[in-house]
Amino acid sequence: MNTSSSSNGAAFIDLDRTLLSGASGPIISAALRNAGVVSATRLPGEDALYRIFNAVGESLPSMLLARQGAAVMKGKARHDVVAAAQNACDDLLQLVRPLAASVIAGHREAGRKVVLATTTPNDVIATFARRMGFDDVVATRFAVDEQGLYTGELDGPFTWSAGKLAAVRTWCSHHHISLSESYAYSDSVYDEPLLNAVGFPQVVNPDARLTVMAAARRWPIVSFDNPDAQAKPPLQSSDIQKVGLLFARPEVFPFVKFSFTGVENIPSSGPVVLVANHRSYFDVFAVALTVAKSGRTVRFLGKKEVFDAPLIGQLASLLGGIRVDRASGSDEPLTHAADALSAGEMVAIMPQGTIPRGPAFFDPQLRGRWGAAKLARMTNATVVPIGLWGTEKVWPRNARYPNILQITSPPDVQVVVGKPMQLESDDPDLNTARIMDEISLLLPEEGRVAYEPTDEELIRTYPSSYKGDPRAEAERRPGTD
């Protein structure tokens, strides 16, 4: 890699599995425990998540664990954390990849600032960054009160995925740095926003998903290990939807007990519209796992709020998601979905359009929008119904994130795939009713009978910001568009 020409760019380097050969978390956690800053008791599943991280890279559960860091540190003294983290530096330096120091030196010789850009909290990694010769750190920052104690909140963005890009943009603005003249190094597909924003993305030790993405975008893969390796693009591949197959790892979700039935009903080829009921933000994960077991790939058609949501938005985008902005009234998303089906792909839709809330969530009669039926008829695609049950126990609507701490007693999530069917009628109402009836038949008996929920159960079906009467919304009309 040639970094000799001077510019007003910078080099942003990721930490875990990029600069380091493994995860920094176990080392930093051990230092904090040994200093008595945090409890000696590990979080449920913590060691397993670190092992998965070292093997396959970042996962959504590992980031959910990291996201809870601010709450875990609430009430702790900042100076105690900084002091304890210094004891981790020597062990972290042992994980630094052989060529990392020369890459840092090369950029500095070219006149570029070199910045460690990481999700890891600033207070536990800043000392290490200085010892490595970095000019600055862009990292997650925990808010501190006047007494120097952590408040349990973040001071700025959680510097992961789009949040990392936002923090880097702020840093560039303060230092008059041009992103278009900057480099970014990462191993993780979740750093796609930053890699895509800089002029010179560099892929290091990529996870399988980033390998596919780098192939599609012709991003060079470089080595921080092998002095003889040359930066080169990987073999070309445009099938980025194969990332869906990478979620067929039950160990990535130790907080869920999945059962899958009827996966063999998904046709091995040809255009297919997958239709499922909608109970939780976790539904996208459940459908992705199901499709991965079938050996095929899928594109999700969903409202734009799904793509803007934390964690689930990244997954939907990686799966080639087609964003629907209902306010625009545009037919473009339906056209894109039809084009995908014409090419023999699968498209997944939640015909209800949104998670029912209030009493409608417990209504045994499922109501859907026309979109799935219209799409299947206009493309002559096969329709495959999927019944989902229990996903709301993993991620209820009133929670910002799924509950990943249910390791010892994970909730049951049932996924039942029904028989393929063809829609013969030209009446979208009849076709939609048939789709919803077929989905309903795949649910357990308790999902097909009337049920009187408690107020607590009703509250879980509303967004966390909802303050009204949980029984006021007797019916959630899905609409027809």
Q: Which domains does the chain possess?
A: 10-222 (3.40.50.1000), 242-459 (3.40.1130.10)
Going by C-beta distance under 8 Å and a sequence separation of 6 or more, which residues neighbour residue 290?
260, 263, 266, 386, 415, 417
At 445-474, the pLDDT tens digits run 999 998 899 988 999 999 888 877 888 765
- The pLDDT value recorded for residue 2 is 47
Bin 48: left if φ > 0, else alpha if -120 < ψ < 50, else beta.
alpha
pTM for this predicted structure: 0.56
Minimal CA–CA distance to 182: which of 156, 157, 202? 202
* DSSP result, 9-61: -EEEE-IIIIIBSS-SHHHHHHHHHHTTSS-SSPPTTHHHHHHHHHHH---HH
Residue 388: count other Cβ atoms within 10 Å of its Cβ.
25
What is the mean pLDDT, run by run of 10 residues, along the chain of 481 residues?
62 96 89 85 54 54 68 92 95 95 92 96 96 97 96 94 95 96 94 94 86 78 70 38 53 86 96 96 89 86 66 62 64 80 91 91 93 94 98 90 84 97 94 97 94 90 83 56 46
Is residue 140 within 8 A of residue 122, CB to CB? The reply is yes
- The pLDDT value recorded for residue 472 is 75
Distance of CA 117 to the CA centre of its chain: 19
Bin 311: left if φ > 0, else alpha if -120 < ψ < 50, else beta.
left
- The pLDDT value recorded for residue 42 is 55
Tallying the residues shown for the chain, one arrives at 481
- The pLDDT value recorded for residue 123 is 97
Looking only at the bridges linking them, the beta strands covering 299-303 and 346-349 are parallel
At 242-282, the pLDDT tens digits run 554 554 566 678 889 999 999 999 999 999 999 999 999 89
Cα(141)–Cα(295) distance, integer angstroms: 41
Is residue 152 within 8 A of residue 109, CB to CB? The reply is no
